[in-house]
Amino acid sequence: MSVDVTYELRGPVAWLTINRPEARNALNKSVRDGLLAGTERFNEDDDAKVLVLTGAGGKAFCAGGDLKEMADSGLRVPPPDFVPQFGRTIEVAKPTIAAVNGVAYAGGFLLAQSCDLCVAAEGARFAISEAKVGRGAPWAAPLPWLVPPRIAMQILLTGDPVDAARAREIGLVNEVVPAGELAGAAQRLAERIAANAPLSVLAAKKTVRLIAEHPLADAYAEAERIWEPVYLSEDAQEGPAAFRDKRAPVWKGR
């Protein structure tokens, strides 16, 4: 792990925090390496059921790439894995939540977009600001799947920030809460997910992506394949039995 990224387990929830608030949590090499190492640690951590990604301090989730580092290194075309992209450059089977505490610009927008869910503080701002600095955003290709195409077009062409309320209105954000309640809201959401049958959660995450990757008929067929082992699992019998017996289910993940 990098000194600029911390990993902390809070019950079943892993918190991955960019800890560079003096630089608005910009993505220098230390942060990028730390995010990759933290994500790999989460993947391997059987005690961690959900990942929450956030930034330290109250001003920035992540302001994007470190432009000073880019200028000094003469960076031209960054490779796809320049910043870890969940589901593209690194597979993350378990659910992920972005807890956006401030600005999420450029690479910070990328990180929030890559997470499965997003909880934002009222003062959070989102922007793909690359058009304002002459850079690129090929990672924004999935954006029209998350928000309406004309909204995606406006975000990309103008580079203008979108506030938290508008981000929730267009479907980019799931919940907006006061800044002081952000960590609690993200933890509670993660714990609700972690309390569910693990095989069902993993299959559900895969299912949501299907329509973006397949024609509808193929998506149905792939969904049947994904869910069959869930139906055949011990947990599929445990759920109804627990309901019948009026007790909490004991999930085994098999």
SS3 string, 141-168, reads CCHHHHCCHHHHHHHHHHCCCEEHHHHH
pLDDT of residue 78: 82
User: What's the CA gap between 58 and 72, in Å, rounded?
Assistant: 28
Beta strands of the chain (E only): which ranges?
5-10, 13-18, 50-55, 60-62, 96-100, 103-105, 117-121, 125-127, 162-163, 175-177
23-27, 68-72, 213-217, 230-234: least confident range: 68-72
What pLDDT is recorded for position 125? 98
Q: Where are the domains of the chain?
A: 5-194, 198-245
Task: Give the C-alpha separation, 173 to 161, whole Å.
Answer: 14
Q: Lowest mean pLDDT: which of 43-52, 53-62, 68-77?
A: 68-77
What token pair was written down for 137?
A: 């955003």
Name which of 75, 83, 72, 85 is nearest 30 in CA terms. 83
Structure tokens of 38?
A: 């933290």
Pairing of strands 125-127, 13-18: unpaired
Give the CB-side neighbour count of residue 191, counting CA atoms within 13 A. 9
Mean pLDDT of 129-143: 91
Burial tier of 71 (Cβ tally within 10 Å: 0-12, 13-18, 19+)? exposed
Whether pTM exceeds 0.85: yes
Angle subtended at Cα 2 by Cα 188 and Cα 139, rounded to the nearest 5 degrees: 70
pLDDT(22) > 70: yes
Place of tokens 């993660």: 190
What is the Cα–Cα distance from 63 to 129, expressed in whole angstroms? 10
Torsion of CA 226, 229, 235, 237, to 10 degrees: 120
Indicate the residue type of 226. Answer: I
According to the model, what pLDDT value does residue 72 have?
A: 60
CATH of region 5-194: 3.90.226.10
Instruction: Please report which confidence band the pLDDT of residue 74 belongs to, taking 50, 70 and 90 as the band edges.
Output: low
Rounded to the nearest 10 degrees, the angle between the axes of helix 198-213 and helix 234-245 is 120
- The per-residue pLDDT for range 82-110, each reduced to its tens digit, is 899 999 999 999 999 999 999 999 999 99
Section 30-53 average pLDDT: 97
The average pLDDT across 114-133 equals: 95
Specify whether the CB–CB gap between 9 and 45 falls below 8 A. Answer: yes
How far apart, in whole angstroms, are the C-alpha atoms of residue 8 and residue 52? Answer: 10
| pLDDT range class, residue 64, cuts 50, 70, 90 | confident
CA distance 40 to 54: 16
pLDDT at residue 71 greater than cutoff 70: no
Mean pLDDT of the chain: 94
Pair 17, 63: CB distance under 8 Å: no
Query: What is the average pLDDT across 207-227?
Result: 94
On the question of pLDDT at 67 being above 70, the answer is no
- For 169-189, the pLDDT digits (tens) are 999 999 999 999 999 999 999
Q: Which two tokens stand for residue 96?
A: 């992920």
